[in-house]
Amino acid sequence: MSPDRLSTTFAALADPTRRAILARLVSGQVSVTELAAPFEMSMPAISKHLKVLEHAGLIARGREAQWRPCRLEAGPLKNVAEWVENYRAFWEQSFDRLDDYLRELKMKEKKHVRKQRKN
């Protein structure tokens, strides 16, 4: 099966360094040197991560010869949000059921304590 767009996005996001790079770019474009600074990583290692992000369309690079700043691209992140939104009703229900269950457990516990006090 040929890698579809969303799979490429998710694969690119499956790495903490790459997610940290994206987080850094939220506030604006940054040069590769600045981007690499907080990571204990070689420049080739950082460049590899940037290539994965660029290939996934999560970042774009400026065309200025020397200073090729990276910037965050909005499209793929929006697609992730839209995909996961399909499951919102499901997890809200699940957590509601968990809440109900915990409330029930608490009630049972209270009844149990009261019963013990009476005896």
- Residues in contact with its own copies by the rule CB under 8 A: 1, 4, 6-11, 13-17, 19, 22-23, 26, 72-75, 77-78, 80-81, 83-88, 90-91, 93-95
Q: Which helix (H) or strand (E) holds 59?
A: strand 59-61
In the complex with its own copies, the residue whose CB is nearer, 91 or 107, is: 91
Closest by CA to 70, choosing from 90, 88, 51, is: 51
Nearest approach in angstroms of CB 108 to its own copies is 24
Show the tokens assigned to 74.
């909005």
Torsion, Cα 71 74 80 86, to 10 degrees, reads: 160
Show the tokens assigned to 75.
């499209």
Nearest approach in angstroms of CB 104 to its own copies is 19
Nearest approach in angstroms of CB 15 to its own copies is 6
In the complex with its own copies, the residue whose CB is nearer, 90 or 118, is: 90
